[in-house]
Chains A and B, each alone.
Chain A
Amino acid sequence: EAQVTQNPRYLITVTGKKLTVTCSQNMNHEYMSWYRQDPGLGLRQIYYSMNVEVTDKGDVPEGYKVSRKEKRNFPLILESPSPNQTSLYFCASSLDGRTANTEAFFGQGTRLTVV
C-alpha cells in the first residue's frame, strides 16, 4: 500500500529536549515536505526536499532541522523544542516538486506538545 508513515503519532516533551519525528514514504517520490498545522493558520511549510541531499526552507523554518540522506526518509529534528512549537505536524511526499504531478500524499500527523 502506498503510504507516508510518521512516527510517533503523539509526543509530549519538555522544553529543550531534542527530538526527532520520522517520516518515510514507499512511493519512490522525489519531493518531500514538512508542515505544521495550527488553528486558524492552516498548514505552513517548514522545510522541503527536492531530492536526496537537497533541502530548502519553507515559510516557518526557525527552530527546525531536516535531512534527506535517503530518498524514502525525511526526518524533522527539533534541537531545542519550545512551547511555541506545540502543533500538529504533517509530512508529505509527491512525485516531484515542479511539474503537474504535484499532488501530495500526507502522513497521519504527529501531535507534539512541548511543556
Chain B
Amino acid sequence: AQSVAQPEDQVNVAEGNPLTVKCTYSVSGNPYLFWYVQYPNRGLQFLLKYITGDNLVKGSYGFEAEFNKSQTSFHLKKPSALVSDSALYFCAVRERGGFKTIFGAGTRLFVKA
C-alpha cells in the first residue's frame, strides 16, 4: 500500500540552528514529492516540490529538501531556523500519472528563541 511517513510528531530547534523534518515514502515508480506548511487557523501553503533532476530542491522562505531515491526519503531542511518557522509541516506524494495525493501525518516544528 502507498504510504508517507513522518516519523517525528514534533521537532524542537533553537533559533539560528539548522533544522531537518523527515519524510519517507512508499509509492511505486518515481512520484512527485511535495512539502506544505500550515500556520495556525490557516490552510496549507506550498513550500517546494521535487519533479526530477537535482536531488536538492530549493523552495520558499529559505527551505530546501533533499531527495534520496535509494532511501525513498525527502527530508525538509533549513540552514538557520527562525521563530516564525514554527508551524505544522506536511510531506505529500503523488504517483506520476495518478490523481491521488497522499499526505503524511504532519510534523510540528517548534523554534525557540
Contact = CB atoms under 8 A, between A and B. Distances in A.
Nearest to B49: A103
Contact of A59 (B49, B92, B100): B100
A42 B103 contact: yes
Contacts of B32: 100, 102
Interface stretch (B13-21, B37-45, B79-87): B37-45
A48 B45 CA distance: 19
Contacts of A98: 96-99
Contact of A43 (B41, B94, B96, B103): B103
Interface in A19-44: 31, 33, 35, 40-44
A79 interface: no
Interface in B34-65: 34, 36, 41-46, 49, 51
Query: How big is chain A's contact interface, by range?
Result: 20 to 34
A107 B45 CA distance: 10
Contacts of A102: 32, 49, 94, 101
A75 interface: no
A56 B99 contact: yes
Contact of B46 (A48, A56, A103): A103
Interface residues of B, number: 28
B90 A106 contact: no
A58 B34 CA distance: 18
A97 interface: yes
A108 B4 CA distance: 24
B43 A90 contact: yes
A109 interface: yes
Interface in A59-115: 59, 90, 92, 97-98, 100, 102-109
Contacts of A97: 99
16 contacts: A35-B103, A40-B105, A41-B105, A42-B6, A43-B44, A43-B103, A58-B100, A92-B44, A98-B98, A100-B32, A102-B94, A103-B49, A104-B36, A105-B46, A106-B36, A107-B43
CB-CB nearest 8 A-B residue pairs: A106-B43, A43-B103, A42-B105, A103-B46, A106-B44, A42-B103, A100-B51, A97-B99
